[in-house]
């Protein structure tokens, strides 16, 4: 097994980032690994509001707008839990739009999954994110209706949407949200799935009333790993695996929103201004090889997502299960980009991780993607974790017994 970088850099002296902090810096990543090249445009981070600077006019570097996170987000229902931290956007798909007729033709392979929009009963808004809005609805029973917002006259995004529907229709697994069909006739584009019960994992790990012991964190991780292993066996990448896209209900774990990143428009949103709008907490889920390729010229489907990058994101969830928060939570975005782009890691000793726990994390967070384990290997590692009645090599706070 290859050598892993396990240095802790939790004490790096970066300032805290209030919502109105403004910072400009160009990053030139060193050649940490010879096979990785410095991206053609190094990221420049701007936490808005940003005033114009004549010195920087014409600068082709990437500007990143970071949306603040509400600190009092409790997530007691799906409306609170599914909502990503974006400013209000015009995502309504209920009014007519002008789309090219050619791009609206449904493939013969998708016809059996095509649901006429008129058959749906669209209810209350229960969440919104980078790909559109989620409604509680009815179609032969309760369903979740994900209305997909794509740019007007964008045939490429429409094709990407249909490719994702093709992938969705292959999935049948207890840990993967059930796909029921899709609306594929513009202007009404939607994915219809079963309605997830319970709470997002994001909400669960931040609930101070819930104590997670090693058995519970392992069980949750195993369920995610089983679902992700299934998706990878089907040739499907998640690309946006995070605790907000995992639902937990009475011991059952369900993964949602896999594959939607390619049609999210996250990179196109500010392309005219050479800006990248990012969701708060997104960066810490991105593998170094992706962080290093963020650029105004990069399309979503051109970023180097892979099975390895999904495993890296699982590592962030594993960290979150034990630390009860994202890594680098108090760091400004430019510090996160620099640290993750160069393979730095938070100080694990501060959260009392035992060696068995941290070993799994460091495997998932390996800088060289080939050193990260497959989900099959991860399942073996999780099964070998000590049971609750056996003392870990370092007694962490998750030693305690509690049931959800």
Is residue 345 within 8 Å of residue 8, measured between CB atoms?
A: yes
Active-site choice (8, 77, 153, 240): 240
CA distance 158 to 162: 6
3-state helix, strand, coil in the chain (%, to 5): 30, 15, 50
CA distance 195 to 237: 22
CA distance 62 to 82: 28
Q: Which residues of 56-77 are buried (b: 16+ CB within 10 A; e: fewer)?
A: eeeeebbbbbbbeeeeeeebee
Burial status of residue 40 (CB atoms within 10 A of its CB: 0-12, 13-18, 19 or more): exposed
**Token code pair at residue 33:** 């690994």
Whether residue 380 lies in the annotated active site: no
Pairing of strands 246-249, 252-255: antiparallel
Residue spans of alpha helices (H) in 211-264:
214-233
Residue 269 CA: distances (Å) to CA of 237, 265, 330, 365: 23, 6, 26, 29
Residue 237 CA: distances (Å) to CA of 108, 230, 231, 246: 24, 10, 7, 15
Write the Ramachandran bin of 98: left for phi over 0, alpha for psi from -120 to 50, otherwise beta.
Answer: beta
Pairing of strands 188-194, 142-148: antiparallel
CA-nearest of 54, 50, 56 to 20 is 50
Helix (H/G/I), strand (E/B), else coil: 351: helix
Q: What is the DSSP letter of 272?
A: G
Burial status of residue 2 (CB atoms within 10 A of its CB: 0-12, 13-18, 19 or more): exposed
CA distance 153 to 151: 6
User: Would you please indicate which residues are annotated as catalytic (active-site) residues?
Assistant: 240
């Amino acid at each position: 097994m290859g050598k892993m970088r396990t240095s802790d850099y939790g004490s790096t002296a970066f300032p805290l980032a209030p919502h109105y902090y403004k910072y400009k810096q160009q990053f030139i990543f060193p050649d940490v690994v010879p096979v990785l090249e410095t991206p053609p445009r190094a990221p420049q981070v701007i936490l808005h509001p940003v005033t114009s600077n004549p010195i920087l006019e014409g600068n082709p570097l990437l500007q990143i707008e970071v949306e603040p996170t509400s600190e009092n987000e409790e997530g007691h229902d799906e409306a609170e839990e599914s909502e990503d931290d974006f400013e209000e956007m015009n995502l309504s798909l209920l009014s007519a739009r002008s789309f090219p007729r050619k791009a609206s033709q449904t493939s013969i392979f998708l016809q059996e999954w095509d649901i006429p929009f008129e058959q749906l009963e669209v209810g209350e808004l229960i969440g919104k994110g980078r790909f559109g809005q989620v409604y509680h609805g009815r179609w032969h029973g309760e369903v979740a209706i994900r209305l997909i917002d794509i740019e007007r006259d964008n045939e490429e995004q429409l094709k990407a949407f249909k490719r994702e529907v093709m992938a969705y229709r292959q999935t049948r697994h207890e840990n993967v949200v059930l796909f029921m069909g899709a609306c594929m006739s513009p202007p009404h584009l939607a994915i219809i799935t079963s309605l997830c019960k319970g709470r997002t994992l994001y909400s669960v790990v931040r609930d101070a009333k819930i104590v997670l012991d090693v058995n519970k964190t392992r069980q949750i991780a195993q369920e995610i790993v089983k679902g992700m292993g299934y998706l990878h066996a089907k040739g499907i990448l998640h690309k946006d695996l995070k605790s907000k896209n995992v639902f937990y209900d009475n011991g059952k774990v369900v993964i949602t929103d896999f594959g939607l990143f390619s049609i999210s428009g996250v990179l196109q949103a500010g392309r005219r201004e050479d800006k990248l709008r990012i969701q708060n907490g997104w960066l810490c889920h991105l593998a170094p090889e992706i962080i290093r390729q963020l650029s105004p010229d990069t399309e979503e489907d051109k970023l180097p997502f892979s099975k390895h990058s999904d495993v890296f994101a699982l590592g962030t969830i594993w960290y979150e299960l034990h630390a009860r928060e994202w890594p680098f939570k108090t760091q400004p975005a430019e510090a996160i980009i620099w640290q993750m782009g160069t393979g730095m890691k938070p100080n694990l000793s501060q959260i009392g991780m035992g060696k068995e726990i941290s070993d799994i994390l460091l495997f998932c967070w390996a800088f060289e993607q080939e050193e990260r384990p497959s989900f099959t290997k991860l399942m073996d590692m999780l099964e070998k974790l000590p049971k609750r009645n056996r003392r870990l090599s370092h007694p962490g706070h998750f030693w305690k017994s509690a049931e959800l």
